[in-house]
Amino acid sequence: MTDLVPDRWLTFDGLVNARDVGGLPLEGGGRVRRGVLLRTEALEGLSPGDVARLTGEYGVVQVLDLRKDEEILVHGPGALADAGITVHRLSFIPETGRGLPEIDDDADPMVGHYLAYLGDRAGNVVAGVRRLAEQETGATVVHCAAGKDRTGVLVALVCSAVGVPRADVVADYALSATRIEALFRRWTAGRGEPMPPSADLDRHRPRAEVMETFLRLLDERHGGPVGWLQENGLTGDELARLRSRLRDEDAD
């Protein structure tokens, strides 16, 4: 497994959990193409300078917003929407009436939540992958609230589909654990509230074993992430376009 931290984090005034998926290794050689898929937390804190950099330097042309309608009503669509960038609203959680699938008693409860995204919102999950495959130029930003769970699941599916080794998919997901304290510091400061105690912060940190179990269950139940995507409507042509868009087989 490669060192996933250097040079993939993105620094912005209004984001603390932003990184380029590009640079992750591919099985058989090459890397995920840089500047195609950026993963972040919600975008309402972007400064005018952030917006200018994202639309100019990074060439962002679309946003995949995985939040619920309720979250968007409370926090707004984000500064990129205000700047005229196309935003695809693809909530991974029903507004009401959510049920969790069965998992082993010893599995982390978050595994059930991740499986529920796929069960409750399969169409939106596949649509997110499809939107990325269809975008021939420019960068896509995918985000939820914190950029770790819903975003983590979609990015894990995409990375698995294009050939990132399983260990690196899991390690990239777990990287967001290093930004939880910074996220809560920004949120609580904005609301004038104290920081939660360390034990509460730890409950929000992504853990590698959660993603490992989630992906293992997809292997057992659907033949893997690609199997699940194809069962739920992603075509062979769309999968080929996704791989062409994201695979840079000439990269070191």
DSSP codes joined into one string, 125-165: HHHHHHHHHH--SSEEEEE-SSSSSHHHHHHHHHHHHHT--
The whole model's pTM is what? 0.94
Residue 1 in any domain: the answer is no
Q: Please check whether residue 182 lies inside any domain of the structure.
A: yes
Distance (Å, rounded) from C-alpha 225 to C-alpha 63? Answer: 22
Q: Does pLDDT of 6 surpass 60?
A: no
Residue 2 located in a structural domain: no
Q: Does pLDDT of 213 surpass 90?
A: yes
Which pLDDT value is given to residue 97?
A: 63
What confidence tens digit (pLDDT) does each residue in 57-70 have? Answer: 999 999 999 999 99
Collect contacts of 215-221 with beta carbons under 8 A, ≥24 apart: 215/156, 215/160, 215/166, 215/169, 215/170, 217/103, 217/111, 217/115
The mean per-residue pLDDT over the stretch 155-159 comes to 98
Sign of CA dihedral 29, 38, 238, 150: positive
Q: Could you tell me whether strands 139-143 and 60-65 are parallel, antiparallel, or unpaired per DSSP bridges?
A: parallel
Position 64 scores a pLDDT of 98
Q: What is the mean pLDDT of the chain?
A: 93
Mean pLDDT calculated for residue range 143-162: 98
Sorting pLDDT into bands at 50, 70 and 90, what band is 102?
low
The amino acid occupying position 122 is A
Q: Is 135 inside any structural domain?
A: yes
The parent domain of residue 49 ranges over 19-248
For residue 10, tell me if it sits in a domain.
Answer: no
Is it the case that residue 252 has pLDDT exceeding 80?
no
Minimum mean pLDDT among 46-50, 74-78, 174-178: which range? 74-78
In a domain, 4, yes or no: no
CATH code at position 116: 3.90.190.10
Residue 146 counted as domain residue: yes
Alpha-carbon span 128 to 145, nearest angstrom = 16
Domain total in the chain = 1
pLDDT-derived band at 91 (thresholds 50, 70, 90) equals very high
- Rounded to an integer, what distance in angstroms lies between the CA atom of residue 46 and that of residue 252? 32
pLDDT exceeds cutoff 50 at 2: no
Q: Is residue 5 part of a domain?
A: no
Task: Report pLDDT digits (tens) over 10-45.
Answer: 999 999 999 999 999 999 999 999 999 999 999 999
